[in-house]
Amino acid sequence: MTATLNNQLVATTSYRCTVTVGDGDEDEKAVDTKLIYAQKISVSYEITYLQEEYGMIIGESLNVRVYGGDAYSLKSSYKKSSSDNEFKNSKCELGSNSANVDENGSTTITTATTTDAQSLKCTLGFITNKDATDTEEEVVYTSTKTIIVIDKCGDGHYWNVDECTRCSGNNYKPSGDSQFEPCLSCPAGEEPNEQFTGCKNCAAGKYSTAESRCEDCAEGSYSGAVGAKECTPCEPGKHQMTAGQSSCSLCFAGTYSQGIGLASRCKDCPEGSRSDDGADKCTYCGAGKKEDNNQCISCDGLGQYSVPGSTTCSTCPDGTYVHSNKDKCVTCEAGKVPNDARTDCEACPVGTYAAPGSSVCTSCPPGTFSAKAGSEKCTKCEEGQYQDEEGQTTCNPCDANQGEYSPLEGSTSCLKCQGRLNENTCNPCPKDHEFRNNECTQCQVGEYSAEGSGSCQKVPPGTKKVKSSTLDFDYCPAGEKQPQAGQTECVSCDADKGEFQTETGQTYCKTTKPGYQLNDGNTKKEEVKCEKNSYSTGGAKKCTKCDSSKAEYTEADGSTYCNICMGLVDKDGDCGATNCEEDTVKLEGVGDGEFVFEVTKVGSTARVLCEKDGGKPDDVLTRYCSYNSATRKGEWATADSSKCSSEFTEQVEEQLAKVKEIDVTNKEETAKTVQAITDLATNATKMAPQDLSNMATTVSDIAAKFEEAETKVDATEAEGLANTVGNVAGAGEAKLASVTESEKTKMVNTVNIIAKNLDGEEAVKTETIAMQKFSKIEVAAPIELPKPKKGAKSPPKLKMRKAAVAGDKEVAPSVAVFDKETAKAIFPKPTASSSSNSNTDTTESTGSKTLKVNYTIDSSIVSLEFAGATELDIEIEIPVDTSEDSGKSGYELTRTCKFYNDSKEEWSEDGCKTIVGELSGETGERIYTCNCTHNTSFAIILSQAEIADTIQTTASTILNTVNIIFLGLTFICIAPFKKFRARRLIQIQVQLCAALFVGHIAFIILGTTTASSKSCVPGVIIVQYLFLVAVAWSVCASVTLYEKIVNALKSFGKQDKHYFLKCLAGCWTAPLFMVIATYVTTLAMDEKTLPYVTSTGELDDEKTETCWVASPWKWVGFIIPVYLCLGINVVLFVMIARIIIKAGKSGSSTGHAREVKAIMSIATTVCLPWLVALLMTGPPTMAQIFQWIFIIVTSMQGPTMFICFVIFQEDVLTNLFSLIGKEPPQALLPAKSSKSTKSAASEISSIKPTTAAPVKKEEKSDVVQVKNPEYSTPVQQAHHSEENIYSKVDEEAPAEKDDTISRGSRGSKHLYESTSYTQHGDKGDDINPVPAVEQGETYENAAANDLDIAQNTYPHVPQLV
């Protein structure tokens, strides 16, 4: 039977229950009443922070309390029934844990270690006292709700429904607080600590509110202490441009801030103002000061002032002074000017005046005066007065008594009345008359006068007056000028100098400007611009045409110079567009594989898409079009395909990414990766340049990992990586050109690192690279180094001259050998190194002049590394295949051992010596030994120098040398001997010979110099000068001959005793002035457009850089003077030839034929080469011909002089042979030279006359009869057909005080020893005796013994005996 009780049971309560049994009538039912006791048992459980909805934390204890003991007593142990033999304990269970309940109804249970929902179950035993006997009863209590067991939350966390959550924002959770309690907020000025278990103060420069964490103070504010609840704005004069600061900074001097907070940003003070540090405003500089660099500086200069806020001091204009406040200028009133200090005005002295604002007092001009100080203006002199001086205080009266008057005020002089004077009134002379001799007279030609002027004056410049009767003068017409006064004619403008004048009455002519010329040569018209493809530098009658053969042109009319066309000038004179022609580049595997570059202008870069269909716009090949000055055409550079990809790009990038993660200590993984890379590298020829760069990075990264991990590289790994480098290097020059040098260097370093970390001493060899690591090498014992499978036939060798030491330990090298083609591909291209020495034992040189040099790697590269060694002394034998040298005859080949200098990034030969070995008969290779002290990569570098065509230069040098030898011989044969040196003509010849001798030596030396050399300019000046001196002496020789033959009659043999000194001064100084003046002129002009020297020589091919004077200076300072001298020589020779021809027709002889021929030969050989030089500037073929003619004619100067001055001169030959005691061969003497001649000359020279007598005339005879007391018959001297050029009387006879032959004077003497002379006239004339020396008087002259006195039979020329 079950009874249900309501929930209102509070304590122990008794209930009476009536129980009816039966289901029938009343008598069938049994009714019983029972008294039932009911007791409420309460079970409570708690912990301090337990809330039913939250649960408990693992491991916490639960306190349980059982209440209710009124009717029933709780027993800690009980028997459930009397039949039980064992007692049971009252206990409570929570999950798997349980605890006994004591007599007081209390117990504590620990929660389980797992998180789940658990129910509290208590099994309790009670004893009732109803029947006064203990009856035990068991009651089971089970909680209606489960207790949730949860994890314990850490510091700063709280339980959030179903998980632990960290406090956020400005909240924290104190340690020890219930995790079921919410987080607390930090107060203002604080924020949670790092564990969120408490609060900490905000740092200086930060602040916080109760709702936020600490934040940086914004710009323009600060917080100076910790725990700030708010930031303080920066006050005026301070600023803070950075957030989170603990203070504000003062504004710098020269800046200010007026606002607060963000508005406190410092601003520059306005111009004219300044400020100190921390200023909230700027102060303007006051009047009389200026602001300069934040300082107010007084305007202390003379006459300076300024207004407030000025940045500069202004200077008061002339005629003003500075106000006392220095803030303005004050204008001086009339009659005053500023004083010297410019602080006030002072009155002008008498005789001067000043208008308002004048700066100086002006003297009263003539005709005026000022009688008081401080005058504003001067007073004009009254009529009848004058003043001819300035600065005067009074006027002077005209003297009427002298006929003076002045009809106008302000007269500067009194007029002389040319008529009647009546109270200062005069009746003047009419126009173009002057008063002279008390009457009016007409002015002369070129003069004029105004009416009443009384005197004539010259017509002004720019005018002319032709007739005196003309009342007016004429202005010079257009195209003429007259700079002087009183002229009767005007001067025409010089068209050749580009002069013109379009206006009348001008005193000057204009000159055409640069880029202009005369209008059809008309000096009356305005100048016009130069037409296209012509130019002028100013002062030109006609513009100069640009030389199209030299690619010269102009863009438009009016040019002042010609441009150089980077291309070809067409028939219309236009510079043809210079382009690179269309070209196709094939790159296997790159983009589309074939790329067409369209026609592109020089200086531009062409672009072609890597992939036309579907490619990215930025993925392009680029190719630059440059200009080739030699061919004057465009030239394509190598195409840059670095931005293109290939079908292998993704695979390469994937491998690169894998390598970055690889662990090289894992050999299995490393082997797979290396093999994958090696297999991928076999497709290098189909890869794009960016793939090759990535492959280089891939192997470099692997090598770096081996080195970092200090892991040895086994042979398989080394071979795979070496093959990868070799395949990438063999991808082709076109692709590798787009790979950077740094990427190529990575591959070189990769091989060196692998060699250094090889496992074992076994050599690793691939087709292109070989590596080996040595443990020990004996000194002086050569060892073979590993050799790649292809390339050189012989392996390189290494010999240690002394042991390599690192610290105190000997070290051996690691070696990597690259075959030649691989080395060329990945090593930097060699160039002329910055430091080059001459350490080669043998230089393979042709001895010819070399030009452009090409350097290339010509052997395998041996890369050595002696780890830690600082000093090395090694020899490396490197074989070089020289079989192709025979096909390079046009080049100079030099092989040098060099090492790659990493620091300078160049190949250098410093510290290396090259020893050339013998040629091997077996391999055809030559062994080069490198003796070096470096720890790097070594190779044999071939310098291949293009040899210039120097045939002309060589021929010129040889012939010039011969020329110099003959010039020297000529000088030696004549100059040392006094009897020759005393003669005028030979003095001239010696100077000519010396100038040519030194000039040709200087010319040869100049040929070794280039235009870029510092010695070029002085060398050119010296050569020009010496050759001009030689030409000048040739003119002097021609003039001497002319004077001797043509002017002999006029002077009767008289000589200018200073003639040679004049020649000496003129011939040596005039050329020097001309050359120096030309050079100085170039310095004053633009050297870039008109340089003095040029690198284009007159000889050799265009490749040769030489040194010579440039146009137009070679014309101005050299060629034109040479042609001028040549012209003078030609004129003189023509005049001399006429005389000789006349003499020949008349049957007589001048006796100068040989002399004339000699001088003409010398003058021609000296001047002719430079006439030929003019023709060397024509077309190439013709220029080449005339270059050879120039060389030959120039070289003839020395031999010609030797033949004319030595071989053809009997006395010179006789003198030379006499030195060795012999006579010259007859073959070298003139045709009619004989002993009789010699004896006759000897006899004549020994005559000592004492008397003079008339000489009888014999018709048609030029025989001179001499009266000699030692002989009974006259001595007849035969007349020679030719004479010696050194034996002419007018040349040899040094002039005495009077070098004339006197007539009609018995007391006169002549230098030459003679008894009489006869003057021959025309046929049939009588012989006129001419007195000689006094009879019986002896006259001797030692100098006459040197003379070969021949007859001068030219008509009217005296015969001297």
Helix (H) or strand (E) holding 1081: helix 1059-1083
Q: Does the pLDDT of residue 580 top 80, yes or no?
A: yes
Q: What is the pLDDT of residue 1023?
A: 87
CA 1292 and chain centroid, separation: 64
Q: Does the pLDDT of residue 1258 top 60, yes or no?
A: no
Cis ω for the linkage preceding 1018 (within 30 of 0): no
Give the whole-angstrom CA distance, residue 802 versus residue 783: 14
Q: Does the pLDDT of residue 1109 top 80, yes or no?
A: no
DSSP structural state of residue 1023 = H
Q: Does the pLDDT of residue 1170 top 80, yes or no?
A: no
Q: What is the pLDDT of residue 315?
A: 87
| DSSP states of 97-135 | EEEE--TTSEEEEEPPSS-SEE-EEEEEEEEE-TTSS-E
The 3-state DSSP class for residue 887 equals: helix
User: For the segment 1088-1103, what is each residue's pLDDT rounded down to a tens digit?
Assistant: 556 777 754 444 344 4
Nearby residues of 489 by Cβ (< 8 Å), 6 or more positions away: 464, 466, 482
Give the whole-angstrom CA distance, residue 1266 versus residue 508: 71
Average pLDDT of the chain, as a whole number = 76
The highest-confidence range among 318-327, 390-399, 954-963, 994-1003, by mean pLDDT, is 390-399
Q: Does the pLDDT of residue 653 top 80, yes or no?
A: yes
Contact 1330, 1317 (CB under 8 A): yes
Give the whole-angstrom CA distance, residue 905 versus residue 835: 13
Give the whole-angstrom CA distance, residue 76 versus residue 126: 9
First to last CA, the chain: 199
Q: What are the respective helix, strand and coil percentages of the chain, to the nearest 5?
A: 25, 25, 50
Nearby residues of 333 by Cβ (< 8 Å), 6 or more positions away: 345, 356
Compute the Cα dihedral for 531, 533, 539, 541 and give only its sign.
negative
- pLDDT category of residue 538 using cuts at 50, 70 and 90: confident
Joined tokens for residue 149: 């067991």
Q: Does the pLDDT of residue 859 top 60, yes or no?
A: yes
**Nearest C-alpha neighbor of 948 from the set 847, 845, 850, 852:** 850
- pLDDT category of residue 368 using cuts at 50, 70 and 90: very high
Q: What is the pLDDT of residue 1063?
A: 86
Q: What is the pLDDT of residue 726?
A: 93
The 3-state DSSP class for residue 923 equals: coil
Return the minimum-mean-pLDDT range out of 235-239, 428-432, 484-488, 583-587. 428-432
Joined tokens for residue 1022: 């010296």
**Nearest C-alpha neighbor of 539 from the set 563, 506, 559, 510:** 510
Q: Does the pLDDT of residue 535 top 80, yes or no?
A: yes
**Nearest C-alpha neighbor of 748 from the set 859, 655, 855, 823:** 823
Q: What is the pLDDT of residue 396?
A: 92
Write the Ramachandran bin of 484: left for phi over 0, alpha for psi from -120 to 50, otherwise beta: beta
Q: What is the pLDDT of residue 949?
A: 56
Give the whole-angstrom CA distance, residue 1318 versus residue 1332: 10
Q: What is the pLDDT of residue 1331?
A: 35
Number of Cβ within a 10 Å radius of residue 1117: 25
- Phi first, then psi, for residue 881 (nearest 5°) are -80, 110
Amino acid at residue number 257: S
Q: Does the pLDDT of residue 1236 top 60, yes or no?
A: no
Joined tokens for residue 51: 């809330």
**Nearest C-alpha neighbor of 992 from the set 1027, 952, 948, 953:** 1027
**Nearest C-alpha neighbor of 794 from the set 786, 803, 802, 782:** 786
**Nearest C-alpha neighbor of 1167 from the set 1026, 1031, 1001:** 1031
Q: pTM of the full predicted structure?
A: 0.40
- pLDDT category of residue 479 using cuts at 50, 70 and 90: very high
Angle at 48 between CA 42 and CA 49, to 5 degrees: 105
Q: Which residue has the tokens 């137009």?
A: 1112
**Strands, E, within 1125-1206: which ranges?**
none
**Strands, E, within 39-189: which ranges?**
42-46, 56-57, 61-67, 72-75, 77-78, 88-89, 91-94, 97-100, 106-110, 117-118, 120-128, 135-142, 147-150, 157-160, 163-166, 171-172, 184-185
- pLDDT category of residue 1049 using cuts at 50, 70 and 90: very low
Nearby residues of 1307 by Cβ (< 8 Å), 6 or more positions away: 1334
Enumerate the β-bridge partners of residue 626: 635
- Please give the average per-residue pLDDT across 996-1005, as a whole number: 85
Write the Ramachandran bin of 827: left for phi over 0, alpha for psi from -120 to 50, otherwise beta: beta
